[in-house]
């Protein structure tokens, strides 16, 4: 049975739990993280984050299910993070 929640490790050291299928931008905000955005439609790439090493566009992707139950988030491109 798949867990309904995944643990998310954020670049600011926070750990939160999120439901699979949750909206990245919203749960990031709840963790105190502001993901930069531009188009909010999946085309500009401003909102890219790395999730377990894989680049995703936070404005259109959802929290995936993960066998280990843990996802590690990093910022993909902005050197100031």
CB of 77 to ligand FES, least distance (A): 12
18/35 with CB nearer ligand FES: 35
Shortest distance, position 51 Cβ to ligand FES, whole Å: 14
Strand partners, 56: 49
Q: Give contact residues for ligand FES (rule: CB under 6 A).
A: 37-40, 42-47, 57, 59
Reference 31, options 15, 46, 19, 20; nearest CA is 15
- Quote the CA–CA distance of 79 and 81 in Å, as a whole number: 5
Is 42 or 69 the residue whose CB approaches ligand FES more closely?
Answer: 42
Altogether, the residues listed in the chain come to a count of 81
């Amino acid at each position: 049975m798949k867990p309904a929640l995944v643990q998310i490790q954020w670049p600011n050291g926070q750990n939160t739990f999120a439901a699979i299928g949750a909206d990245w931008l919203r749960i990031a905000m709840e963790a105190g993280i502001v993901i930069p955005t531009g188009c909010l439609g999946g085309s500009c790439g401003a909102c890219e984050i790395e999730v377990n090493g894989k680049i995703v566009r936070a404005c259109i992707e959802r929290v995936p299910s993960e066998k280990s139950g843990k996802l590690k988030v990093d910022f993909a491109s902005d050197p100031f993070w």
